[in-house]
Chain A
Amino acid sequence: MQGSSGGAVSAEPRRRRPGRIRRIGLPYLLLLPALLLELLVHLVPMVIGIVMSFKELTQFYIRDWGTAPWTGLGNYKVSVDFDAPVGEALLHSFFVTVAFTLLSVGLCWLIGTAAAVYMQDTFTGRGLLRALFLVPYALPVYAAVITWVFMFQHDNGLVNHVLHDQLHLTDKPSFWLIGDNSFYALLTVSVWKGWPFAFLIVMAGLQNIPRELYEAAALDGAGMWQQLRRITLPSLRPVNQVLILVLFLWTFNDFNTPYVLFGKAAPEAADLISVHIYQASFVTWNFGTGSAMSVLLLLFLLLVTGGYLALTSRGRRTADV
């Protein structure tokens, strides 16, 4: 993903000897299936989605959406008019999603890294624990989230049973699936499901750190904590760069978790943008506005990803030198 490599790559074929020219077709042939599928399932639909975002695609036109009138930027204007309820709700949902994503990714990374570091050395039961920790990640989304719904119920749920009935931490049972607490409920489920992935990746990353580094540090008299700070964390930098980006994108676009947790109308406090857009398009049958919102979301993600990669890669390159 280095920005400067483009020129080198395109220059290379020219250096090839003429006898190998037939070979040049091969990489394209190998890429063809992947390319065709990506075109079919992702890129062309995205283009259509962008086209849709300029149309007034309501229930009157969905039957034959070629005939839907063009609205120019109308759908976008509605989406970003933050003084009107539609735009305001979108903005609110955006902020909720950003806060949720930052917290969730942060916690996932923190827990995952801590667990991986703590389990770097062998101890009795380590293999068992590792297997156990991967279970939330391996569970199908629906099965995992519906279990949490069961636990978060107001009247009969485990969470209130423990917090209220057994520990007496609250005056009265709290609501977790509606109202303001729903944000924390969503966060809990997301972290529960997401941290093992961070754990897995960091664990793999730790295995790539040469042992000699630790041995040398130990000889220098560095303690466990110092080794962690001086060797482990810096060595994990490249791993973290990718891990955090992937976690960010997955969490930001996550639809399954909030959808199973709250159903079609999420509480305001946990109104994640993917469900919000789903509601804007499917439940209110306005696919034009829904598409416009998705396009805005895509632009935002492109911007963030691009900025993130530029920023972290630059830092990484200087660090490498």
Chain B
Amino acid sequence: MSESRMAKSPMAPPSSFLWSRRIFLTLLTGFVLVPVYVMVSSSLKPLADVTGQFRWLPSGLTVRPYIDIWSTVPLARYFVNSLIVAGSATVCSVVIAVFAAYAVSRYSFRGKRVFTVTVLSTQMFPGILFLLPLFLIYVNIGNATGIALFGSRGGLILTYLTFSLPFSIWMLIGYFDSVPRDLDEAALVDGCGPLGALFRVVVPAAIPGIVAVAVYAFMTAWGEVLFASVMTNDTTRTLAVGLQGYSTLNDVYWNQIMAASLVVSVPVVAGFLLLQRYLVAGLTAGAVK
């Protein structure tokens, strides 16, 4: 698309623009890449290399760290926990956000503004303010009803999904607003209920926005440290907290930390990059309108 614009454009970009672009992007690439390179290369170094003077090139390559990480801490279990927690939180968050955003986008009702403002304002609550109270609430719900929220994955799922909810709702409102109302009104005329219109017309048209929201929700849940460190125990611990197990009493196993970090990052980064097309499209139509 942009080629066509360039073709029409009477003048090519000035060389000052091209040069500054080259320099800027090169520097930026370096800034972005160096830590990534360090992570990858250090994860393949023997322990002596990473505890001694820094060196750009490893003295020898080893995959030992990738084998050791699984036994130093129960990484596999943390991985599964994180998958369950982040996955469930994402699914719930997206579904709930779709409902809420649909209501706000398509209906006029009393309290709409109060709702949006309240939900959005929770974004500014310092987590530290409600950490302890939330924890007390979970414990008391557990005592009163027998539903174990504290220390369980359920409690963490519940917590994380509300973290991403405000931003998700807000983004989806923007996205749904951009889906022409004629479409769902036509569906209503065809005899679909409002929910039918939502799922048959609005949701399919809003897939990029929904994917963007899902990616955001997943990442929020995947990396959270503060609540996870207080609300989980040995069996429910997530990766973000579990990774700290590598800096243990004795020595900091930097190569294992890097290897584990990489293992933990690959699924998210890969997923993120695969979905980035949707992400940009979703943001274009949703958030930035």
Contacts and interface: CB of A to CB of B under 8 A. Distances in A.
A118 B21 contact: yes
B122 A38 contact: yes
A277 interface: yes
Interface in B231-289: 239-240, 243-244, 254, 257-258, 261-262, 264-265, 268-269, 272-273, 276, 279-281, 283-284, 287-289
A301 B15 CA distance: 44
Contact of B284 (A45, A208, A260): A208
A46 B96 CA distance: 22
A143 B256 CA distance: 12
A141 B122 contact: no
A201 interface: yes
B119 A135 contact: no
B183 to A, nearest CB: 18
Contact of B14 (A120, A205, A224, A249): A224
Given A13-B109, A253-B127, A156 B54 contact: yes
Contact of B123 (A130, A249, A256): A249
B53 interface: yes
Contacts, number: 299
Interface stretch (A69-77, A78-86, A174-182, A290-298): A290-298
A207 B123 CA distance: 27
A65 B240 CA distance: 30
B278 to A, nearest CB: 11
Contacts of A142: 223, 225, 239-240, 243-244, 261, 264
Contacts of A140: 219, 222-223, 239-240, 261, 264-265, 268
Interface stretch (B25-33, B57-65, B68-76, B199-207): B25-33
A89 interface: no
B35 A192 contact: yes
Nearest to B127: A255
Interface stretch (A26-34, A98-106, A313-321): A26-34
Contacts of B167: 246
Contact of B24 (A115, A134, A139): A115
A130 B24 CA distance: 14
Nearest to B35: A147
Contacts of A46: 125, 129-130, 133
Interface residues of B, number: 104
Nearest to B289: A208
B14 A207 contact: no
Contact of A219 (B10, B51, B123, B126): B10
B210 interface: no
A63 B134 CA distance: 16
Contacts of B128: 255, 274, 277-278, 281, 290, 294
Most-contacted residue by chain A among B35, B113, B258 (CB, 10 A) = B35
Interface of A is mostly: helix
Nearest to A16: B108
Contacts of A144: 35
Contacts of B29: 129, 132-133
Given A134-B273, A138-B272, A256 B224 contact: yes
Nearest to B107: A27
B144 interface: no
B6 interface: yes
Given A129-B25, A146-B243, A302 B121 contact: yes
B111 to A, nearest CB: 8
B59 to A, nearest CB: 14
Most-contacted residue by chain B among A27, A130, A305 (CB, 10 A) = A27
A6 to B, nearest CB: 5
B124 interface: yes
Contacts of A130: 276
B194 interface: yes
Interface of B: 2-3, 5-6, 8-11, 13-14, 16-17, 20-21, 24-25, 28-29, 31-36, 38-39, 42, 50-54, 96-97, 99-100, 102-104, 106-110, 112-113, 115, 117-119, 121-130, 132-134, 136-137, 158-159, 161-162, 165-167, 169, 194, 219, 222-226, 239-240, 243-244, 254, 257-258, 261-262, 264-265, 268-269, 272-273, 276, 279-281, 283-284, 287-289
Interface of A: 1, 5-6, 9-10, 12-13, 23-24, 26-28, 30-31, 33-35, 37-38, 40-46, 48-49, 52, 65, 111, 114-115, 118-122, 129-144, 146-148, 150-151, 155-158, 160-161, 192, 200-201, 203-205, 207-208, 211, 214-215, 218-219, 223-225, 238-239, 242-243, 246, 249, 253, 255-256, 259-260, 273-274, 277-278, 281, 287, 290-291, 294-295, 297-298, 301-302, 305
Given A37-B162, A192-B31, 16 more contacts: A13-B109, A42-B122, A45-B129, A111-B28, A121-B13, A136-B36, A138-B272, A156-B54, A204-B280, A204-B284, A208-B289, A224-B14, A224-B17, A298-B125, A298-B126, A302-B121
29 contacts: A9-B109, A9-B110, A12-B108, A13-B109, A27-B103, A27-B109, A37-B162, A45-B130, A45-B133, A118-B20, A132-B32, A135-B36, A140-B223, A141-B225, A147-B258, A151-B35, A158-B54, A204-B284, A207-B284, A208-B284, A218-B9, A224-B13, A225-B17, A246-B123, A246-B167, A274-B128, A277-B129, A294-B126, A302-B124
